[in-house]
Structure formats: C-alpha cells, structure tokens
Structure 1
Amino acid sequence: MNKFKIFSIALLASVSVSHAQDLNQAKKAIDAEQYEKAKSMLKSIIQAKPTNGAASFFLGKVYLIQSNVDSAKIYFQKGLTGSEGAKLNYIGLGQIDLDNNNLAAAQANFALATKDAKKKDVDVPNYIGRAYMNTVKPDFKTAIAVVNRAVIDNPQDAQLLLTLGDAYYGDNKQNEAYVSYRNAFQADNTLLRAKMQLGVLLKGAKSYDEAIKAFNEVIALNPNYGPVYRELAETYYKWGRNKPSKSAENMKIAIGFYEKYLDLTDHSLNSRMRHADFLVLVKDYAALEVEANKMIELDKVNPRIYRYLGYSAYENGNVDVAIKSLESFVANPTNKVISKDYLYLGAAKFKKGLSADGLAMDPTLYNEGLDQLKKAIAMEPTSAEDLNEIGKKMFGQKMYKEAASVFELGITNPEAKNYVDDNIYFGLSIFYANTKKDVVADKVALKKADTAFENVIKASPAYQDAYLYRARTNALLENNDVMKKNYEDYVAKTTEKGAEELAKPAVKKKFIESYNNIASTYLNSDKVKAKEFVNKSLELDPADKRALDLLAFLK
C-alpha cells in the first residue's frame, strides 16, 4: 500500500510537470503568433485537467486576440473555478470590462486578481499591464505604473521588462522602451520578442536599413520565429512608401516576407484576414481577390470577407461585385465598418455611373457615391486625403462640376497632405465648369474657387499660377480690382524666377493675357496707363489681336 501511495504521488507529480511543460509550450506558441496551434494545445491541457485555471486564461487571451469575445469570456469564467492560476482569469474579464469602457468593473476584477498575491508573483502585474495596453482604448501610462511597481521587486524578470518596454513604446517613450527591451533580452537571451522589438524601434524611427539588420540578427538566432518576418514585411512596406524610387521592389519583398510569416504561423481564417489587411496596404489587389476567395472556402458567412471582395473587385474592374459586397458589409450593424469601406463604395458607385464614353455620369449614382464619401469623412476626417485620386480622375475626364464636389470634401481637413493640391483642383474644377459653352456663371461657386486659390497662395506664395487662376476667376466674377491685382502678382512672381522661366512660350502667352487684362481695367480711367500695358503685350507679340483691338480703341 505504501508503494502504491508513493507511485501515485510520483505519477501526480509527473502529470503536473507535464502540464506545466505543455503550458509553457502553448505560451511560446502564442508569442510566436501560432494561435491555432496554441488553442489546440491549451484545449488538450484543459481536457486532461479541467481545473487548470491558467490554461483557461491563456486560451481566453488567444480568443481575445482573435476578437472572439464570447468564447474568451466563457473560458475566463470557467478558469475562475479552477485551481492553479485561477485568479489570472479576473484579469481577462477585466480587459473585457475595459473594452466595454467600464473602468470601475475592470479595476474591481484586477483587485480580485491581486488579492493575496505575493511580490514575486509577477504574472499578475504583468498581465494587468498587458490588459491596459491591449484594450480598445489603450492606457499606456497606467500600464507603466502597474508594471514598474512589480519591476522594483523583480528587476531581472524578462517578461516584466518586455511588458514595460511595450508600455513605454506605446506611450512614445522610445529611449525608455529601448532600455527595457535591452534589459529584457539580457535577462533572458531566448526571449526573441524583446530583441525583435529593438528593430521595431528602429523601424519607427525610419532607420529602415538598421531595422532590417536587427531583424536579421533575430533570424540568425531562430530562423523559424514567425513574427520577425511580419516585421520585415512591414519595414519594407514603409520603406517603399517613403522612397518611391524603390517602392515596387520593396513592396514585392514585403509580400514575400509576409508569405513567410504565414507559413511559420498558420493559415487559419484569422491569419488570412491579417494577410488580406496587408495586401490592402501594399495594393496587391489581384492577390487580395485570390485570398478573399480562399477565405470564403474556409468560412462562407464571415462578413469581413466581403470587405476584401469589395476592395479587390473594385480594383480589378468588377464594379457590380464591388457594390454588392460592400453594400452587404456596411448594411450589417454588427460589422465594424471603417471609413475605407465607404470610400470604396463611393468610388464604385462613381465607376458604375460613368458612361461608356467616359464623358458623363449618371446623376443618381453620382449622388449616392458622394453620400458614401461624406460618411467616410464624417467617420475619419483624415480619409479626405484619399479623395484626391478620385477627384483627379473626374477632372481628367472633364467632369468638372462632379470633380469640384469631390475636391470640396477633400479640403475639409487643413492638415491633410493633399490640402494645397485639392484646393488647386477645387478652384480649377469650378473655373473650367464655368467656362463651358452656354453656361451661366455660377457666382456662388466662383467665389468658392476664389477662396480656394487664396488658400493656395497663403500656403504656397511662390506658386505663380495660383495668382493667374485667381485673376481669371475674378474676371468671371467681374471683380476688376482683384483681377488686376492678381495678374500683377502673377507677373511679379514669375519674373522673380528669372530669364529661363520667362523664356517659356506658355509663360509668354500668360504675360500677354495679363497685360491685356490689366490694360482693360484702365480703359475708362487712365488711358496712358492702359496704353503702357498694351505696348508691353505687343512687345511680346506684335500680332496679338486683342492687344491691337485695345490699341485701336485707345486711339
């Protein structure tokens, strides 16, 4: 009987060690972003020992990462009834409270997790810190405070230092983040994420070549660590965005690294969703359409797939599929609609409404499209930057009135990178719309054009054509004083650019136009001044008909 008791105790100890090892392997899988593998391992642990509260907590965390809140909550609540690690599940429930903007409930749950916790029990403050960071509205300062208190008693704990680094990074304290990541890796040189994050800091500082070197050092330690290839993919993508001359080359490299990342993590629906998001970034819409169709095979009802189908169908020329997919997606109140969804739907409506010859637009579809663009900007004002390309296409097709409405939305955000360019095209669109045959001048719209050119001049005083078009616009408005002043400014600003600029044939024609129009403002008030400007015009072109007509009138 004693031998049997000893055998039973040894067996239980062996099983406990085995579960601990399995749990560590599952945690490593989570860190490596192998979420499906981690879920399978954790479910096996729970099946073998339903009272393993820690396994329930980590499984719930994976479900939160994958935005499956209901499943996460089930496992957190199950974990509370467990034995070892049960209190960690209060932290998981606390993060859900934070996501629901219920700070009091979250703090109550965190208090239950910390009750009777020992100073050396680093998991509790570590995961509370992570909860504050991983919530919908991260609170990095609170995370820093929570983790720093634990670091005082555990200055060499690598996981705490890693979490502290992430909190500093989120709070834009790059120097402190660097120290924490460095110390974490020094404390545990198997903690590859800490070393990888040193490269992430370099990527954020736009030191792309140095970041790539740092990531390659991680690969040298473990070529099968998947997350580092995702970071490489994002680095090459950002490098391509910042250096247009290498954009195509770097985007291709980025896609290759992301494929490597998928191969080393998993090809689950969630991973494919992340891949699809990346393909949207790098604008590989052919690959996006392939990926979207693969996702449909995995899950025919997941609504987010219709976003990717809509984007790719639009870019690949299948406008009907684009409209159907995106209308289905945005109409579902449970979907997390983003401004880009409305932008694509608006652009798809425009493309659908365009006539076969590209010279006219169906007014109903145009208005529907414009409404979608307004929704996009109302949701995210910075999305105004994305309207520039849409407006320019209409401008190029000489649909000036329609283009003006798009550019008018584009200039709603003065901080947008296209603000000056959009003001130029907004003004030009209105101007050209009012110079068409048999069009009665729309003075309300022309005043908006005048303001747009004035905005351009304020932002870029050296851009001489803004003065020219403001003068032309005020000619249509019959504001002679403003017209004259802007023609004079055009001549002055262009002359400042030197002889090479003045020698251009197009500039010569614009000077003749300027002199003739300035002369016309003096016809009834100062004939000497009028003749002076007519003569300047004739010096540039002795045969200019309007100058000759003005000269004849003056005689």
Structure 2
Amino acid sequence: MNNFKILSVALFASASVLHAQDINEVKKQIDAEQYQKAKTSLKSIIKSNPSEGKAFFLLGNIYLNQSVIDSASITYNEGLKAKDEAHFNYIGLGQIDLEKKDVTAAKAKFESAKKEMRKKDYEEYVYIAKAYMNNSNPDYKSALATLELAKEKNGSEPQVLLAFGDAYYGDKNQNEAFSAYRNAFQADNSLIRAKVQLGVLLKGAKAYKEAVAAYNEVIALSPNYGPVYRELAETYYYWALNVPGRQEEYMKEALSYYEKYMTLTDYSLASRMRHADFLILAKDYKALEIEANKMKELDKVNPRILRYLGYAAYENGNIDEAISSLEQFINAPENKVISLDYLYLGQANIKKGTNADATAVDSTLYAKGIDYIKKGVELEPSVADGLGDLGKEYYEKKMFKEAAAILEIATSYKESRSFLIDNYYLGNAIYFDNAGKPVAERDTIALKKADIAYGNVLVASPETVDAYVSRARTNSLLEDDQAMIKYYQEYIDHVTAKGPEELAKPTVKAKLIEAYSSMAAGYANFDKPKAIEFFNKTLAIDPENEYAIQSLKTLQ
C-alpha cells in the first residue's frame, strides 16, 4: 500500500512537471508570435487537463490580442472554473474592462486575482501590468506602480525586468527602458525579445542604421526568432520614409523582411490581417489584393476582409468593387470604422462621380465622396495629409470647384507636410472658379476662404511674392479695393527690394503693369490723383498700354 502511495505521488509530480513544461513551451510560442500554434497547444492542454486555469488565461490573452473579445471573455470565464491557478483569469477579464474604459471594475478583478497569490508569487503582478499596457487605452503609470510590487517579490526576475522595459518605453522614459531591457537580457540570455527591444529603442530614435545592426546581432543568436524580422521590416519602412532617394530600395527590404516574419510565425487569419496592415503602409496594393483574397478563402464572413478588399480595389482601379466592399463594411453597426475606411470610400465615390476625361461630374456622387472624406478627417485629422495630391489632380484638369472642395479639407490639417502648397492651390482653385463670372454669380464665401488661404501662405513664407498678386486679384473679385491695393503694394515692395535685375524680368514687368493698372482703377473710385499717378506708373513701364492711356483721358 505504501508503495502504491509513493507511486501515485511520483506520477502526480511528473504530470505537474509535464504540464508546466507544456505551459512554458506555449509561452515561448506566444513570445515568438506563433499564435496559431500556441492556440492549438493550449486547446490540447485544456482538453487533456481542464483543471489547468493558466491555459485558459493564456488562450484568452491570444483571443484578446487578436481583438476577438467575445471568445476571450468566454475563455476567461471558463478558466475561473478550473481547479488550478484559476485566479489568473480575473486579470484577463480585468483587461476587457479596461478596453471598455471601466477602470473600477478592472481594479476589482485585479484585486480578486491578488487575493489568491502566495507569499513569493510575482507573476500575477507582471500580467496585471501587461493588462494596463496592452489595451486600447494604455496606462503606463499604473503598470509601473504594479511592477514595483513585483519587484518587491523578485526584482531580479528577467520577466519582471522585461515588463519594466515595456512600461518605461510606453511612458517615454527611454533611458530607464534601455537599462531594464539590457538587465533582462543579461539575467537570461535566452530572453531574445529583450535584446530585440534594444533595437526598437534605436528605431524610435530614428537611428535606423544602428537599429538594423542591433537586429542583426539578434539574428546571429537566434535566426528563427520571427519578431526580429517584423521589427526589421518596420525599421526599413520608416527608413524609406526618412531618406530621400532610397525609398524604393528600403521599401523592398521592408516587404522582404515582413515575408520572412510570416514564414516564421504563422499564416493564420490574424497574422494575414497584420500583414495586410503592413502592406497598406508600404502601399503594395497588388500584394494586398492577393492577401485579401487568401483571407476571404479562410473566412468569408470576417468583416475586416472587406476593408482590405476595398482598399486594394480602389488602388488597383476597380472603383465599383471598392465602393461595394467598403459600404458593406461601414454600414454594419458592429464594425469599428476607422478614418481610412471613410477616406477610401470618399475617394472612390469622387472617382466614380468623375468621367475619365473630366468633362462631366456627377454632383451627387462627388458630394457624397466629400462627405465621407470629411467624416474620416473628423475621426483622425492627420488623414488629410496627402489629400492635396488628389486636389491637384482635379486642379490640373481645370476642375477648379471640385479641386477646391478637396483642397479645403487638405488644408484643415495644419501639420500637413504640404500645408503651404495646398493653401496656394486652394486659393488658386477658388479664384479661377470665380474669375470671369459676373459679380452676382461669384461665390463670396469661397473667395474669402481663398483670401485666408493666401494669407496662410504668406505667414509661412513671406517671400512667396506671387501670393501677394493672387491675394490682390481675389480681393478685386470681392470688390474690396482697399485690400486689393494693399496686396499689390506688398508685391511691389518685395520685388523692388530685390533690385533692378529683378524688376527687369519680363514676368515681373507684366505683374507690375497689372498691379499699377489695377491699383489705379481701385483708386479711381475714391482718390482721383492717386489713380492718375498709378496709371502713369503703368505707362512708365509700358508706354503703349491702351488701357492706361484711355483711363487717363477719362480721369483728366
């Protein structure tokens, strides 16, 4: 009988060790972002041992990471029924509360988890800190405060140090983050992610060359660690954006490394979606269309696939498919619509509302497109950055009213890289749309916007002298003689200050003739001597100017 008891204890102990090994292996899979493999492993563990509460917790975390919140909630609640380590699932449910911005409910669940901790336990604190960090509304201060509790239990534990690194990084304390990541890797050199994060810090500082060198050190240690290739891809992507002349080369590198990352992680739907997000950033829309159709084969009902199909269809010229896919996505109440969804749907309606040679416009479709774009900008103002290019397309086609509608949205984002030039084109588009129209038909509200647009140009760049002429012309259409005279005079002052060589240029002479003649015409309404003076200035440059000659005869 005693031998039987000893054998039972031994078997129980070996089973516990085996499950611990299984869980540790799963943790490695999660760290390597092999989520599909980890899910399969966890489901197997749960099936063979439903008492393993931590297996439910880790599975719920994967669902949460992949934004499948309903499945995460169900899994955590099932985990609370487990015999062992069920309390970890309170942490998962607490993170769901944080996603809902219910901090009070989250803290109550975290306290429930803490009550089950033993004297030397620290892992719960690490996971609570991660819950504060890994949600849509991260709270890095609370994460750091929680990790201080873990530090009291075991401050040298590598996972505690790694979590500190993440919290400091999120809190924008780069020096402390660097120390924590370095110490974590020194404490456990199998903790590859800590070393990867040292490269991430360099990437964040735009030290792209140094970041790539740091990642190559990681690859030398662990060539099959997938996340390092994703970081390489993202680093080359940002490098491409910041180094003129190397964009195409570095973007190819970025896409190549992302493909490598995919081969080392998995081709699950969630991973394909992450890949699709990167393809959008990299503007590889042919590859995006291929990826979207592969996702459709895996899951025909997942709504995000419609987003990717819509983006790809628009960029690849299939406008009807773009509108159909994006309208299906946006009109489903359960979908979380982002600014880019509205932006693409808006641009698709604008394209559909304009025929190929720009000789006709469907005003209803065009207005619908503008409204969608405005919705996108309301959600995220920065999506207006780059809209100026679309506006300029219509400007070049002499579709000035349509161009102005787009450019007005583009100039609403003052941080735009093309804010100056977009304002200039906006002013011009409105001016040309109104020039030549009778006074009664001019859009005075739009013309006042043009005046403001030119003003924005001149505040940012006072030496953009042609903007003074454009602003004067606009005020002439508004029949504001005082403002018109003021801006022509500013043009005259700026070009005169540049000296005789500038004044001798044919283009400058032409604008001076325009300025003097227009100013004279304006003065004629309230100051006859000034009018005569300025018509004479016109004749000093162009003695045969018929308009000035005839006007002087009338005035005299």
Does the pair score TM above 0.5? Answer: yes
The correspondence of residues 250-329 of structure 1 with structure 2, limited to 5 A, is 250-329=250-329
CA-CA distance at 1:226 after TM superposition = 0.7
Cα 1:490–1:25 shift into 2, 3 Å: same
What 5-or-longer segments of structure 1 have no aligned partner?
none
The correspondence of residues 534-545 of structure 1 with structure 2, limited to 5 A, is 534=535, 536-538=537-539, 540-545=541-546
Shifted more, 304-313 versus 234-243: the winner is 234-243
Cα 1:464–1:59 shift into 2, 3 Å: same
Post-superposition CA distance 1:294-320 (Å, at most 9, x none): 111111111111111111111111101
Shifted more, 456-465 versus 181-190: the winner is 456-465
Cα 1:19–1:419 shift into 2, 3 Å: same
What 5-or-longer segments of structure 2 have no aligned partner?
none
User: Would you say the 8 A contact 1:29–1:38 is kept in 2?
Assistant: yes
User: Would you say the 8 A contact 1:235–1:254 is kept in 2?
Assistant: yes
Name the residue aligned to 2:478: 477
Name the residue aligned to 1:449: 450
CA-CA distance at 1:524 after TM superposition = 6.7
CA-CA distance at 1:466 after TM superposition = 1.8
2:213 paired with 1:213: yes
2: CA distance, partners of 1:206 / 1:361: 45
The residue matched to 2:445 in structure 1 has which SS?
Answer: helix
User: Would you say the 8 A contact 1:359–1:398 is kept in 2?
Assistant: no
Shifted more, 349-358 versus 530-539: the winner is 530-539
The correspondence of residues 174-193 of structure 1 with structure 2, limited to 5 A, is 174-193=174-193
Q: Kindly report the root-mean-square deviation, in angstroms, between the aligned alpha carbons of the 2 structures.
A: 2.1
Name the residue aligned to 2:12: 12
The correspondence of residues 150-189 of structure 1 with structure 2, limited to 5 A, is 150-189=150-189
Q: Percent identity?
A: 57
1:320 maps to a residue whose letter is D
Q: How many equivalent pairs are there?
A: 555
The correspondence of residues 73-112 of structure 1 with structure 2, limited to 5 A, is 73-112=73-112
CA-CA distance at 1:461 after TM superposition = 2.2
1: CA distance, partners of 2:503 / 2:55: 77
CA-CA distance at 1:520 after TM superposition = 3.0
CA-CA distance at 1:223 after TM superposition = 0.9
1: CA distance, partners of 2:358 / 2:283: 25
1:392 maps to a residue whose letter is K
User: Would you say the 8 A contact 2:481–2:523 is kept in 1?
Assistant: no
The correspondence of residues 21-32 of structure 1 with structure 2, limited to 5 A, is 21-32=21-32
Which runs of 4 or more aligned residues in structure 1 lie more than 6 Å from their structure 2 counterparts after TM superposition? Answer: 524-528
User: Would you say the 8 A contact 2:121–2:153 is kept in 1?
Assistant: no
2:366 paired with 1:381: no
The residue matched to 2:26 in structure 1 has which SS?
Answer: helix
Q: TM-score, normalised by structure 2?
A: 0.94
2:458 maps to a residue whose letter is I
Q: TM-score, normalised by structure 1?
A: 0.94
Cα 1:24–1:454 shift into 2, 3 Å: same
Name the residue aligned to 1:368: 368
Name the residue aligned to 2:495: 494
The residue matched to 1:202 in structure 2 has which SS?
Answer: helix
Post-superposition CA distance 1:188-229 (Å, at most 9, x none): 111111111111111111111111111111111111111111
CA-CA distance at 1:500 after TM superposition = 6.4
CA-CA distance at 1:53 after TM superposition = 0.9
Name the residue aligned to 1:115: 115
Cα 1:192–1:441 shift into 2, 3 Å: same
Cα 1:326–1:497 shift into 2, 3 Å: farther
User: Would you say the 8 A contact 2:237–2:254 is kept in 1?
Assistant: yes
Post-superposition CA distance 1:266-304 (Å, at most 9, x none): 011111100110111111111111111111111111111
2:431 maps to a residue whose letter is F
The residue matched to 2:266 in structure 1 has which SS?
Answer: coil
Name the residue aligned to 1:228: 228
The residue matched to 1:136 in structure 2 has which SS?
Answer: coil
Shifted more, 5-14 versus 267-276: the winner is 5-14
The correspondence of residues 384-533 of structure 1 with structure 2, limited to 5 A, is 384-436=384-436, 440-497=441-498, 502=503, 504-523=505-524, 529-530=530-531, 533=534
Shifted more, 375-384 versus 436-445: the winner is 436-445
Post-superposition CA distance 1:492-547 (Å, at most 9, x none): 22344566655544333222212222333345766665555445444544554444
CA-CA distance at 1:174 after TM superposition = 1.4
